[in-house]
Amino acid sequence: MAERIAITGMGVVSPCGLKKETFWANLKRGESFVDEVTRFDASTYPSRIAGQVHELDHYSHLSSRLIKKIDVFSHMALVATEQALKDSGIDLENTDKNKVGVFMGNALGGWLFAETELRDLYLEGREGISPYMASAWFPAASQGQVTIYYGFKGYSKTIVADKASSALALWYASRTIADGKNEYVVAGGMEAPITPYALLCINSRGGLSKNNLNPSRAYKPYDLYRDGFAVGEGSGMVVLEKESHAQRRNAPIYGFIKGVGFSSDGYHYSQYRPDSSSLEYAIEDCLAQARWNKRNVHYICLDAEASEMGDYLETQAIKNVFGKQIETISMSAPKSMFGNLLGAQTALDLIATIFSMKHSTVLPTINYEMTDPNCDLDYTPNKAKERKIKKALIIARGRGGINVVLAIEKE
């Protein structure tokens, strides 16, 4: 990429805070925000714990007329977008809206709206179903709502790629700026999987921790006694623009998206290839595109599936790519504190990493107690540590082996 793509605004709706400052302050403490699901009766679900957003309405300026037409995942996206745009200081009045795009990642769509309306369809018939159903539930609905709300007309897309969705959205967004298609892009992701049907589907999918008796200790990636991840809900959005563009308008520059690496396992619809070669390829691909030497990577934000195979393969890929250099790299999984937000996760990983760079702090991987002999790296257990970070990688792996690695740099 000829010119760096700058991150100039950030917005967060997460289980551990609905503003970026709160998000960071809570993460730094190293506490868990995973708790029991209580908003509906989940007592028969094998996994009934999650990172949940409890105060969305307090931070929303949306009208009730709009809220009733949209699913909560779009609501979250609109709130995070509003924060990010405000943070970036863009003068929307004097911006060519034809050059503002929206790129979002989402895995599941808006199931709270969908399942409620489908119930009404079966109970009341055709006229029992809300006419907004058609435009509320599908994964691109949030992208549509954001573009309509702000009148953005630039090239926009929603990417559905399981837990790698927002990683890909961030990268494609960067490309549209580099190619001159967009001047600004609002990019990130949103996910609202804590609904009766969606949580059931994720349970059927497998991979969730069943440690329901101790939610805050449940998500423990790389630990010998891990039993899966905790799912989370929320949204993360950033504003992207060319570095020179941001400099011209004196915008705050939080960091840069420098490169991406991709690969697919090409192995199984739900399982990872049982060797780490695909992920290694994606990491190498990312380093090559960013034109980084392995020696210069300071931090890796981990995927942290919290499964025996997932954690092992990720560990192995990092070891194989970095060799002895691994001792100079810090790594952690901040998502162990609030859950994996699936299609929105990389957006939150990005914001957490940017704060880590700003405050020279490596966030911890919490709940780490017992070393797994197959996962023997330093994952920054339980407590944040001080460290200057200028270059970082973010790893995201979607189900069935969609591997995406982003390169982020501070200056």
Q: Smaller CB distance to other proteins: residue 125 or 266?
A: 125
Structure token digits, residue 404: 């995406």
φ and ψ of 397, to 5 deg: -125, 125
Q: By CB under 8 A, tell whether 135 contacts other proteins.
A: yes
Within 65-104, which residues bind other proteins (CB under 8 A)?
65, 68-69
Q: By CB under 8 A, tell whether 151 contacts other proteins.
A: no
Q: By CB under 8 A, tell whether 327 contacts other proteins.
A: no
Q: By CB under 8 A, tell whether 296 contacts other proteins.
A: no
Q: By CB under 8 A, tell whether 63 contacts other proteins.
A: yes
Q: By CB under 8 A, tell whether 174 contacts other proteins.
A: no
Smallest gap from residue 130 Cβ to other proteins (A):
7
Greatest Cα-to-Cα distance within the chain, rounded to the nearest angstrom = 65
358/364 Cα distance (integer angstroms): 16
Question: DSSP letter string over 304-359?
Answer: ---SHHHHHHHHHHHHHHHGGGGGG-EEE-GGGGT-B-GGGHHHHHHHHHHHHHHT
- Of 189, 199, 298, give the one whose Cα is nearest residue 235: 189
Question: Among 125-133, 185-193, 218-226, 311-319, which window interacts with other proteins (CB under 8 A)?
Answer: 125-133
**72-88 and 141-150 helices cross at what angle (nearest 10)?**
50
Structure token digits, residue 349: 């990983």
Smallest gap from residue 65 Cβ to other proteins (A):
4
Question: DSSP letter string over 382-396?
Answer: SS-EE---SEEEEEE
One residue of 26, 95, 98, 130 binding other proteins per CB under 8 A? 130
One residue of 41, 54, 131, 382 binding other proteins per CB under 8 A? 131
Q: By CB under 8 A, tell whether 324 contacts other proteins.
A: no
Within 1-30, which residues bind other proteins (CB under 8 A)?
none
24/12 Cα distance (integer angstroms): 10
Q: By CB under 8 A, tell whether 145 contacts other proteins.
A: no
Q: By CB under 8 A, tell whether 248 contacts other proteins.
A: no
382 C-beta neighbours (distance < 10 Å), count: 13
Q: Smaller CB distance to other proteins: residue 62 or 224?
A: 62
Q: Smaller CB distance to other proteins: residue 63 or 94?
A: 63
**Residue numbers at the binding site for other proteins (CB under 8 A):** 63-65, 68-69, 127, 130-132, 134-135
